[in-house]
A and B are shown apart, each in its own frame.
Chain A
Amino acid sequence: MSDSQEFYEIISKSILGVDHSKLGDLIGDDYAHRIEAHRGNYKMSTQSAIISAYPIVAKLVGDEYISRLAQKFVEEFPPKAATLTQYGDEFPEFLRKFAPVQKDLPWLSAVAELDRAWFMAYAAKDESSLRANDLQGKAALALPILAPGLTASVNLLRFTVPAYSIWRTNKQDAEVKPVNLKAGAEWAIVWRTSNQVNHQSISQAEYVFLTDIEGDLSFANAYAEAVKYDQKFDLQQQFSHWLAVGLFKGASNAQIDE
């Protein structure tokens, strides 16, 4: 190992708290404690990034516990890139596997998924969405075979717990409403139109339908799957609603056949 290589190794390991036995050799024993200045910066920046990225998780568990969770997460998944605004992809999965959370707050990782989905929608690629005008002149019979896909900002989520109800009331209600934790499964969608991030609860059939559209299936094929979960699934109504809120990919990207 070259002197330079060793220099970086010693400082890196000292900041991470892995090994600071050689720091004194590098800067003198009288000054080795000053590595705390850099260690403090590292901890503060990385933990703040997680706390900012998961605001509803932070609100639910309080300042002290979110700091401890973030610290544990940073130790296990230190950032690899300088884009800290995007750091923390693995946090929901970390929470799912973290024993104390698993035991006492089994719904927390699902809430974290919603925080992440909000950011992903917020920062997603700008794409034009399909508009009613784009479909003018298309034969009515051609509509079922359209396979437009969904815009890049769309995140479809499914939960075995009422995570969306918990997340939504904590995000938007001035007075947080009680949620029955035994209410069972929920499905949700988070997406962006222009600069506005939107979210709403959806049914299981809608989830299946939109997931299939996202997978480039045609409306007819997606409907065939959705109707298995809801015999009253209304394709016309679904198409009109999601078209109006800008969910389908724009005409330039969509596969629109005559």
Chain B
Amino acid sequence: MPPVIYDMLNLSKLPLNAGLGLKPEHYDDALACSKDGLWFEIHPENYMVAGGPRLAWLQAFCDKFPMSFHGVGLSLGGIDRPDKEHLKRLKYLIDRFSPAQVSEHFAWSKHDNIYFADLLPPPINEESLNRIVAHIEETQEYLGRTILIENPSLYLPVTGFEELPHIYVEAAKRSGAGLLFDLNNIAVCAANVDLPYQNWLDVVPGDMVGEVHLAGSSSRTIKQEVVLIDSHDAPVSELVWQIFEKFIHKNGVKPVLIERDDNIPTFDELLAERDHAEDLMREFSQEAADV
């Protein structure tokens, strides 16, 4: 087995390989898989239970693979401080399973004690930036570790959306967090709110990126307008693969995740997408070595 190379900037302890989102449908196949450098990502919210098979499976994966815990419920972009109970449950999982990576979103999902099960855009202004920075800092302090923050998708042209890439990077710089750069989300933004993906590629510093996400999206027609939804229910789109190539040519290879949360295909189909990502990363590495 070739040696696993870790990100030298230490933003991530994940290998510089492609990983997969772990779904219960694939537990058996995934655990038996022996692909070099394979790692998995889970949403810790799905494992916030007292005990039982879910945690037993998670233990089995953590014993064999590098794991990334990608939270969806802290609502860091919300007006309220991160929920203490949620933080406590997250910390329990982190302390018990020692994942290689922990990440959350530059978005909000909870307000006035209602959880919206979605990743909503925060206001794009200085007041909001300060609040998000404080929430990230509080989270990192509580967890005792640095986290990565993922850029959001946009369906609504909230005031100041053009500044979103800058404010996203600024929040990470001020809080000491790293970036989880979702390339499908920047394709979705480009389609919905006229924020070209190139703007993101220009603004996001590669050395702050600890992980990259690739996913598929779907179109929904709303009042005769087609809106691109970050649905994770389809293979990675051709556009996102192209953006990924641009990204690695500019910034080098990073741990990259193939996300799939709905319309789940066979494990082999996901592995084929992972193989494609690995091929692109290998080609780039070879080109870089030749130069």
Residues of A within 8 A of B (CB): 2-5, 7-9, 11-12, 15-16, 26-28, 31, 33-38, 40-42, 45-46, 49, 78-86, 121-127, 152-153, 192, 195
**A46 in contact with B155 (CB, 8 Å):** no
- Output the least CB separation between A126 and chain B (Å): 4
B157 is an interface residue with CB less than 8 A from chain A: yes
B288 is an interface residue with CB less than 8 A from chain A: no
- Of B52-60, B244-252, B274-282, the stretch lying at the interface with chain A is B52-60
Return the chain B residue nearest A85 by Cβ: B46
Tell which of A7, A26, A28, A42 touches B116, judged by Cβ atoms closer than 8 Å.
Answer: A42
In the bound complex, residues from chain B placing their C-beta under 8 Å from that of A79 are 114-115, 117
**A37 in contact with B155 (CB, 8 Å):** yes
Q: List CB contacts (< 8 Å) of B98-157 with chain A.
A: 108-118, 120, 123, 125, 127-128, 131, 155-157
CA distance A26 to B223 in the complex (A): 19
- Of B33-41, B72-80, B168-176, B199-207, the stretch lying at the interface with chain A is B72-80
CA distance A12 to B84 in the complex (A): 22
**B116 in contact with A122 (CB, 8 Å):** no
Tell which of A5, A11, A45 touches B120, judged by Cβ atoms closer than 8 Å.
Answer: A11
**B155 in contact with A38 (CB, 8 Å):** yes
Q: Indicate the size class of the contact surface on chain B.
A: 35 or more
**B115 in contact with A34 (CB, 8 Å):** no
**B222 in contact with A12 (CB, 8 Å):** no
**B73 in contact with A83 (CB, 8 Å):** yes
Return the chain B residue nearest A45 by Cβ: B117
Known contacts A27-B158, A34-B155: does B50 contact A123 (CB below 8 Å)? Answer: yes
Tell which of B78, B113, B156 touches A34, judged by Cβ atoms closer than 8 Å.
Answer: B156
**A16 in contact with B114 (CB, 8 Å):** yes
**A123 in contact with B54 (CB, 8 Å):** yes
Residues of B within 8 A of A (CB): 45-46, 48-56, 72-75, 78-79, 83, 85-86, 89, 108-118, 120, 123, 125, 127-128, 131, 155-159, 192, 220, 222-223, 225, 227, 229
**B109 in contact with A82 (CB, 8 Å):** yes
Return the chain B residue nearest A47 by Cβ: B117
Return the chain A residue nearest B227 by Cβ: A37
Tell which of B50, B72, B85 touches A152, judged by Cβ atoms closer than 8 Å.
Answer: B50
In the bound complex, residues from chain A placing their C-beta under 8 Å from that of B83 are 81-82
In the bound complex, residues from chain B placing their C-beta under 8 Å from that of A26 are 158-159
Listed from nearest, the 10 A-B pairs whose CB atoms lie closest are A82-B73, A45-B117, A126-B51, A123-B49, A125-B50, A37-B155, A41-B118, A195-B53, A33-B223, A79-B115
**B49 in contact with A86 (CB, 8 Å):** yes
CA distance A119 to B35 in the complex (A): 33
CA distance A118 to B190 in the complex (A): 45
Return the chain B residue nearest A126 by Cβ: B51
- Output the least CB separation between B239 and chain A (Å): 19
In the bound complex, residues from chain A placing their C-beta under 8 Å from that of B127 are 2-4
CA distance A171 to B118 in the complex (A): 32
CA distance A78 to B113 in the complex (A): 9
**A36 in contact with B117 (CB, 8 Å):** no
CA distance A199 to B122 in the complex (A): 47
Most buried by B among A45, A82, A121, A152: A82
Tell which of B109, B111, B118, B222 touches A33, judged by Cβ atoms closer than 8 Å.
Answer: B222
Q: What are 9 inter-chain pairs, A to B, with CB distance below 8 A?
A: A5-B79, A7-B123, A33-B223, A37-B155, A42-B117, A82-B75, A122-B54, A125-B51, A126-B55
Return the chain B residue nearest A38 by Cβ: B118
**A85 in contact with B45 (CB, 8 Å):** yes
Tell which of A2, A8, A124, A195 touches B56, judged by Cβ atoms closer than 8 Å.
Answer: A195
In the bound complex, residues from chain B placing their C-beta under 8 Å from that of A4 are 79, 123, 125, 127-128, 131
In the bound complex, residues from chain B placing their C-beta under 8 Å from that of A82 are 45, 72-75, 83, 86, 109-110, 115, 117
CA distance A110 to B274 in the complex (A): 45
In the bound complex, residues from chain A placing their C-beta under 8 Å from that of B51 are 123-127, 152
In the bound complex, residues from chain A placing their C-beta under 8 Å from that of B158 are 7, 26-27
- Output the least CB separation between B3 and chain A (Å): 35
Tell which of B52, B116, B128, B220 touches A123, judged by Cβ atoms closer than 8 Å.
Answer: B52
In the bound complex, residues from chain B placing their C-beta under 8 Å from that of A8 are 78-79, 108, 111-112
CA distance A192 to B50 in the complex (A): 13
Return the chain B residue nearest A32 by Cβ: B156
**A12 in contact with B78 (CB, 8 Å):** no
